Amino acid sequence: MASYDLIVLGAGIVGAACAERAAGEGLRVAVVEPGPVGGGATAAAMGHLVAMDDDPAELALSRLSLRLWERFADLPLAEFSRCGTLWVAREPRELDGVAAKVARLAAAGIEARPVGADELYALEPYLTPGLCGGMLVAGEAVVYPPRVAQHLLQLACERQAQAFLGRRAVALTAHGARLDDGSELRGPVLVATGCALPELLPQLPMRSRKGHLVITERYPGRIRHQLLELGYADSAHGDADSSVAFNVQPRPTGQILIGSSREFGVEERAVSPPMLRRMLERAFAFVPMLRELQALRVWTGFRPCTPDGLPYIGAFAPRPHTWVAAGHEGLGVTTALGTAQLLVEQLLGRAPAIDPAPYAPTRMLR
Ligand SMILES: Cc1cc2nc3c(=O)[nH]c(=O)nc-3n(C[C@H](O)[C@H](O)[C@H](O)COP(=O)(O)OP(=O)(O)OC[C@H]3O[C@@H](n4cnc5c(N)ncnc54)[C@H](O)[C@@H]3O)c2cc1C
């Protein structure tokens, strides 16, 4: 029976990042992935690397991770583009919170500044008239997540990680994990299977949160920053059955990605025309020009969502030698590299860079 220092189940961006980090520490790593590498939620994502400041633990993990992303800033396949994030206010009352947001981000070492209405239109001329202003986080970037996941796995394999592609873990065993071909891998297991986490660890609740995205033909220069409405966090962190928010991204190709929607309790992968319409109407309200553009493709994906919105990162105490890295909802691309660092630090018994307590999987078992 093959034996490893870490068996990573799932090669989305989170599992791939953990495998790369562990292999980089000299651990003997196995990676099990039944589908395409970076093909789950990772393939559906927008790839916006963004600091959300409304939860201190989420901000700490994002900050750790955003610094680690700088490593990929010059890697062509990552399609890293430092377009910055421009948060936009429709109502004057939305601007009231901007100073506090700027201060929270500054305390985390992330530079942001308020933007007045005139500057808003200088930065993004296609925004609808009558907006009040917003906030610019100039250092933030976008990437192409599936390619980065593939790259991370490749780096892990260059460090002797062994990939079991086309294989699925069907059970955790006393000594490791059993695969769907009946073989067993021996060693500590890291479950990084995103939405599928409860199939192997039913004790840890996870909901899938469906999202839609649209990508347009190429319209270079029309949109320059990742644009988000200031109310976006209400959609991302709220518990509504369904919600939409203005969230538009310029791809380095000149294409424009339009999001975002969130739905609980929907298992169907198919595009929902009413939800798509609702999402697009929201985007058109902020950027009417988008209405004229030719859409190329529409797709959906499912965000892995824990009950408290924070990912599970750490040991799953009830089972010896069992670790978890899953449940990153809409921030798993941003926080994958920080997750990998935090996980491997705990695995090796080192002092973690940030307090791991808020992400401890066992918080759900109390
Ligand atoms: C529409 C949308 C937009 C998003 N936009 C952003 C964004 O702009 N920025 C951001 O930071 N995040 C974004 N996200 C969130 C981000 O995509 C996810 O948080 C992240 O991809 C989760 O990565 P993961 O590796 O945990 O899961 P996944 O990518 O789903 O990977 C899990 C892997 O586990 C594998 N697996 C499942 N079962 C088993 C098993 N039994 N054995 C072995 N392997 C198994 C699956 O095949 C899959 O490859 C978005 C998500 C969606 C849906």
Instruction: Encode pLDDT of 184-243 as tens digits.
Output: 999 999 999 999 999 999 999 999 999 999 999 999 999 999 999 998 877 777 778 999
pLDDT tens track of the chain, all 366 residues?
789 999 999 999 999 999 999 999 999 999 999 999 999 999 999 999 999 998 999 999 999 999 999 999 999 999 999 999 999 999 899 999 999 999 999 999 999 999 999 999 999 999 999 999 999 999 999 999 999 999 999 999 999 999 999 999 999 999 999 999 999 999 999 999 999 999 999 999 999 999 999 999 999 999 999 999 998 877 777 778 999 999 999 999 999 999 999 999 999 999 999 999 999 999 999 999 999 999 999 999 999 999 999 999 999 999 999 999 999 999 999 999 999 999 999 999 999 999 999 999 999 986
Instruction: Encode pLDDT of 326-342 as tens digits.
Output: 999 999 999 999 999 99
Listed in order, strand segments (DSSP E) in 27-105 are 29-33, 48-49, 85-89
From CA 185, how far away is CA 326, in angstroms rounded? 21
Mutate to test the pocket of ligand 1, among 13, 209, 210, 214 (most ligand atoms within 8 A of CB): 13
On whether the CB atoms of residues 325 and 190 are closer than 8 A, the answer is yes
Task: Please tell me the distance between residue 16's alpha carbon and the centre of ligand 1 in angstroms.
Answer: 11
Q: Which residues pair with 196 in a beta bridge?
A: none
From CA 351, how far away is CA 355, in angstroms rounded? 9
**pLDDT for the residue 311:** 98
Cβ–ligand 1 contact at 303 (below 6 Å): yes
- Closest ligand 1 atom to the C-alpha of 37? 49
**pLDDT for the residue 171:** 98
Cβ–ligand 1 contact at 275 (below 6 Å): no
* DSSP string of 298-318, one letter each residue: EEEEEEEE-TTSPPEEEE-TT
CA dist 140 to 85, 89, 91, 156, 267, Å? 6, 19, 24, 26, 32
* Helix, strand and coil percent figures for the chain, each rounded to 5: 35, 30, 35
Mutate to test the pocket of ligand 1, among 303, 305, 313, 334 (most ligand atoms within 8 A of CB): 303
- φ, ψ for residue 8, nearest 5 deg: -95, 120
On whether the CB atoms of residues 191 and 201 are closer than 8 A, the answer is yes
Nearest CA to ligand 1 atom 25: 12
Task: Please tell me the distance between residue 33's alpha carbon and the centre of ligand 1 in angstroms.
Answer: 12
**pLDDT for the residue 366:** 62
Cβ–ligand 1 contact at 327 (below 6 Å): no
Task: Please tell me the distance between residue 12's alpha carbon and the centre of ligand 1 in angstroms.
Answer: 5
Cβ–ligand 1 contact at 95 (below 6 Å): no
Cβ–ligand 1 contact at 35 (below 6 Å): yes
From CA 178, how far away is CA 206, in angstroms rounded? 22
- φ, ψ for residue 359, nearest 5 deg: -105, 0
